[in-house]
Structure 1
Amino acid sequence: MYARDNVAGASERQQPTPGDGEVEAAVQMLRMLADGTRLRLMWLLSAGEHDVGSLVTAVGAARPAVSQHLGKLRLAGLVSVRRDGRRVLYRARDGHVRRLVAETLHAASHRVTGTPEHD
């Protein structure tokens, strides 16, 4: 990489380098998504609320495993929970999380299918 490559895409106002706290939080979030079952769960939860039973069916994993993954995702702040009577409904916490999951899977799709990259 040449120095001129760094200048070519630089804007007049550079964003500050993220602080240690932001980097550590991002690393924790990405670690949670680095598991296939959790990433599948997050994809489903990004589209709307689901209970454990529907998630078990959708991802084809055992109920205890899905519950354990949901607990980890909740502790990591990626999932929120709402009670509806006796049912517990899970969903992706917010738009940032939904976009992170979507962009990750779209980028992977480009790589797997050979679809040209875009900005």
Structure 2
Amino acid sequence: MHVDTDADDLTPENGYVEVAVEVFRLLADATRIRIVLALRAGELPVNAIAETVGRSPAAVSQHLAKLRWGKLVRIRQDGNRVFYRLTDEHAMRLVIEALRQAEHAVDERPGHHA
């Protein structure tokens, strides 16, 4: 979906605000945040992601489908194996900043300020 606005226009009138809300909705799930963190190091198959995040491969596949729909992850097929990777660095940066903000919400002196 293309929105006709200047990408550097960081004002309340920015045409991407509603799309940004959808991105936040996609990331408003602990399993999806864990999937993004698991993919930080590079591409992985579903079983490795499932093991890392402590969920079943079927559940992880459903979450990955949503992340693909939102264009946050991409796939690469190698024979009958499918590997997932982050589309770009932006989802990772959103997750990192959300975790840093969570530290501020919980700790008086967050660890990332030490």
TM-score, normalising length: structure 2: 0.79
Letter in 2 for 1:67: S
CA distance 1:61–1:108, shift in 2 (3 Å): same
1:81 to 75, 78, 81: 75
Q: Deviations over 1:64-109 (max 9, x none)?
A: 1110000000001111111223221111110222211111112212
2: CA distance between counterparts of 1:52 and 1:72? Answer: 14
Unaligned runs of 5+ in 2: 1-8
Larger radius of gyration: 1
- 8 Å contact 2:50–2:57 — kept in the other structure? yes
2:109 to 103, 115, 119: 115
2: CA distance between counterparts of 1:58 and 1:30? Answer: 22
Question: What's the secondary structure of 2:44's corresponding residue?
Answer: coil
Unaligned runs of 5+ in 1: 1-13
CA distance 1:18–1:43, shift in 2 (3 Å): farther
Runs ≥4 residues deviating over 2 A:
14-20, 109-118
Deviation, structure 1 residue 18:
4.1
Q: Deviations over 1:10-40 (max 9, x none)?
A: xxxx9433434x0111111100111111111
2: CA distance between counterparts of 1:100 and 1:49? Answer: 19
TM-score, normalising length: structure 1: 0.76
CA distance 1:56–1:94, shift in 2 (3 Å): same
Which 10-residue stretch deviates more, 79-88 or 107-116? Answer: 107-116
Query: 1:1-119 alignment to 2 at 5 Å?
Result: 15-20=10-15, 22-116=16-110
Question: What's the secondary structure of 1:94's corresponding residue?
Answer: coil
Letter in 2 for 1:58: T
Which 10-residue stretch deviates more, 103-112 or 88-97? Answer: 103-112
Which 10-residue stretch deviates more, 80-89 or 58-67? Answer: 80-89
